[in-house]
Structure 1
Amino acid sequence: MDVLVVIDMQNDFIDGSLGTKEAQAILPNVEEKIKNFKGTVLFTRDTHEKTYLDSREGMSLPVCHCLKGTKGWEINSRLKEYVKEEPIDKPTFGSRFLAEKLVEMNEAEKIESVTLIGVCTDICVISNALVIRSFLPELPITVDASCCAGVSKCSHENALEAMKMCQIEIEGL
């Protein structure tokens, strides 16, 4: 079984409070990748409460985003039809819940590979790739760079290089 993990393709990261032109630009690539993927597709959803600004992250990034139940928290409407099970809510960058789900899935049926796409390459994509690597060290992990966007072009490229050093395959360059 192959698994595609779509990281945080939510309105706030595309055209909302933390949206970028880069995130908007990858949306067609992301949709095409999901549509043509032969395997299981999982979505994650950055999820914050109203007390976000009081959190460690909120103090460092004082921009309210992905507040549970808001339009910004929702998976982008262009991708909603591909959500087959409830997205994995994650209160921080990397998700142990995602990694634990993959471990559970791997125990039921061997996972051959995991591919990650989404935003932000330099924060949540890299964090989840490394968390998955620590939970499933022998699992082939790929990141499709053509379906990822970072906070900036430079930080996106730096994250891709860092993931390469951690034996994560980068495709789509």
Structure 2
Amino acid sequence: MKRLLMVIDYQVDFVSGSLGFPKASLLEGPICQKIQEAKARGDTIVYTMDTHENNYLSTLEGKNLPIPHCIRGTAGWHLYGEVNDLLKDARCFQKSSFGCAQLIPYLQKEDFEEVELCGLVSNICVLSNAVLVKAALPQAQVIVDAKCTDCADTAKNQEALNVLEGLQVKVLNRK
């Protein structure tokens, strides 16, 4: 079976930086375990990085969320903790929006049968990219492990997991 693990935006600013929240750092261990298991199986691993420029506050997103984050080259833009080391050989997709449109042709070319997403944040970028995967690969099994994603608001995290299930994404380890 051709599998892909996608690590979404597990960056300093979302863990301990300008948009960080306490539960985000607790995801590091489970995400590292996912990466190690995928490597051991020989699965493909890619990751996304939220990437904004210095003009962030003048963008539509910046006007709606006026908190500079993941500005290219800053400390907050980099991958967080051990995830950074584990993903050194993986392909990176930088994105300036919630979903990563560059993933669509890549996914269709590779034609994965199973795609698992983990990372941050569940109700925005993980959800957006899961929708892109479903659109690009309608016959693939798409998976999100609830132990490997979260957001600052517990209710919004649960709502995001509900929406994912409604889109026929398999949600593992639901609390």
Normalised by the shorter chain, which TM-score bucket? over 0.9
Runs of 4+ aligned structure 1 residues displaced above 4 Å come to none
1:49 aligns with 2:50: no
Equivalent residue for 2:75? 71
Equivalent residue for 1:152? 153
Distance in 2 between the 1:69 and 1:162 partners? 33
1:100 aligns with 2:101: no
Answer yes or no: is the 8 Å Cα contact 2:121–2:149 preserved in 1. Answer: yes
Distance in 2 between the 1:86 and 1:146 partners? 23
**Considering only aligned residues, what root-mean-square deviation do their CA atoms show, in Å?**
1.0
Structure 1: which 5+ runs fail to align?
A: none
TM-score w.r.t. the length of structure 2 is 0.93
Percent identity for Structure 1 against Structure 2: 33
1:112, distance to aligned residue in structure 2 (A) = 1.9
1:86, distance to aligned residue in structure 2 (A) = 4.0
* Secondary structure in structure 1 of the residue aligned to 2:108: helix
1:77, distance to aligned residue in structure 2 (A) = 3.0
Distance in 1 between the 2:146 and 2:104 partners? 21
* Secondary structure in structure 1 of the residue aligned to 2:82: coil
Answer yes or no: is the 8 Å Cα contact 1:122–1:151 preserved in 2. Answer: no
Matches within 5 A, 1:17-36: 17-36=18-37
Distance in 2 between the 1:144 and 1:154 partners? 17
* Secondary structure in structure 1 of the residue aligned to 2:68: coil
Figure out how many residues of one structure are paired with residues of the other and give that number.
169
